[in-house]
């Protein structure tokens, strides 16, 4: 098994009110306590300070997005520097609900990645194909092109703490999960692309996690694969007991 430390993220999207955020953060904090995973939760921007205050030392809190700008007249945006300033250690970049829902381009995502790196906030870069891409046999080409374009201009040294989330769009929030075989193949494509763009050593060190309808039931199967270093979890991360089981499944990678 790999020496990469598993990473599990809970993307809470536009869910949960303040009291619920506090309760869930406390629940996840105890689940993480005896695990061997790195775990982060991504609440709404407005509840980040509450989440940070409630989180145990083993649980980090991050932003669901950041601006591609440093500062200035950008109404409604939040900079990577602001996330860092309040104690966020990571940020999701290029989530499909922003790529496909809001039309974010690879060029924009690449600039956001740069801002996160400059602010020393660990980027969790999301890539993944649509159902049409998969059905027409171009899924792997799409993943490779998203990676190439998003990483363009960023050096291996700057990207040392990068996490990549493979999130097939057709599996997000749909209850349809990629099979462990399909996810592993996509992760292999990601690693091959990283090795071409950078070095084999870099490609082996970077964590590649899977996201798309991961549940307490299917997590162990997915995380039993060498190529799958953990998960980015949406719906199932909103239920403390389910998320705890997913964290335990990722933690089992280390004990083997």
Known catalytic residues?
95, 167
Q: How far is the CB of 9 from ligand PEP (least distance, A)?
A: 8
173 is an interface residue for ligand PEP by CB under 6 A: yes
218 is an interface residue for ligand PEP by CB under 6 A: no
Show the site string, 197-216: x = touches ligand PEP by CB under 6 A, - = not: --------------xxxx--
Indicate the residue among 116 and 214 with the shorter CB distance to ligand PEP: 214
| Distance separating alpha carbons of residues 18 and 185, to the nearest angstrom | 39
Q: What is the DSSP letter of 4?
A: P
Q: How far is the CB of 155 from ligand PEP (least distance, A)?
A: 27
Q: How far is the CB of 29 from ligand PEP (least distance, A)?
A: 20
**Can you point out the beta strands (E) in 69-135?**
90-93, 122-127
Q: Encoding tokens for residue 165?
A: 């989330």
C-beta of residue 233 within 8 angstroms of C-beta of residue 9: yes
Q: How far is the CB of 165 from ligand PEP (least distance, A)?
A: 7
Q: Which helix (H) or strand (E) holds 211?
A: strand 207-211
Q: Which of residues 128-167 bind ligand PEP (CB under 6 A)?
A: 167
Q: How far is the CB of 174 from ligand PEP (least distance, A)?
A: 7
Applying CB under 6 A, which part among 29-37, 82-90, 104-112, 226-234 lies near ligand PEP? 226-234
Q: Which helix (H) or strand (E) holds 22?
A: helix 18-33
Applying CB under 6 A, which part among 82-90, 104-112, 149-157, 227-235 lies near ligand PEP? 227-235
11 is an interface residue for ligand PEP by CB under 6 A: yes
Q: Which helix (H) or strand (E) holds 131?
A: helix 131-135
Show the site string, 229-248: x = touches ligand PEP by CB under 6 A, - = not: ---xxxxx------------
Four-residue CA torsion sign, 186, 187, 189, 193: positive
Indicate the residue among 162 and 198 with the shorter CB distance to ligand PEP: 162
| Distance separating alpha carbons of residues 28 and 73, to the nearest angstrom | 36
Q: Encoding tokens for residue 252?
A: 């089992």
Chain centroid to Cα 105, Å, comes to: 18
Tell the residue number behind the tokens 């999130």, with chain if given: 167
Residues lying near ligand PEP in the complex (CB under 6 A) are found at 11, 167, 172-173, 211-214, 232-236
């Amino acid at each position: 098994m790999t020496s990469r430390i598993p990473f599990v993220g809970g993307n809470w999207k536009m869910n949960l009110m303040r009291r619920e955020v506090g309760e869930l953060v406390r629940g996840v904090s105890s689940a993480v306590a005896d695990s061997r995973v790195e775990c982060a939760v991504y609440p709404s921007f407005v509840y980040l300070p509450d989440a940070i205050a409630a989180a145990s030392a083993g649980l980090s809190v991050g932003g669901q997005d950041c601006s591609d700008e440093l500062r200035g007249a950008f109404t409604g945006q939040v900079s990577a520097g602001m996330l860092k300033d309040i104690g966020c250690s990571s940020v999701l970049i290029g989530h499909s609900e922003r790529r496909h829902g809001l039309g974010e381009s690879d060029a924009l995502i690449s600039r956001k990645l740069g801002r996160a790196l400059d602010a020393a906030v660990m980027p969790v870069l999301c890539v993944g194909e649509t159902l049409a891409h998969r059905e027409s046999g171009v899924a792997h080409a799409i993943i490779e092109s998203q990676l190439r374009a998003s990483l363009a201009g960023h050096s291996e040294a700057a990207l040392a703490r990068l996490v990549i989330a493979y999130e097939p769009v057709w599996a997000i929030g749909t209850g349809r999960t990629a099979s462990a075989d399909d996810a592993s193949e996509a992760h292999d494509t990601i690693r091959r692309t990283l090795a071409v763009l950078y070095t084999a050593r870099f490609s082996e060190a970077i964590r590649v996690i899977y996201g798309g309808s991961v549940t307490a039931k299917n997590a162990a199967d997915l995380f039993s694969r060498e190529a799958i270093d953990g998960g980015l979890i949406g719906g199932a991360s909103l239920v403390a007991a389910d998320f705890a089981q997913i964290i335990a499944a990722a933690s089992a990678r280390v004990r083997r």
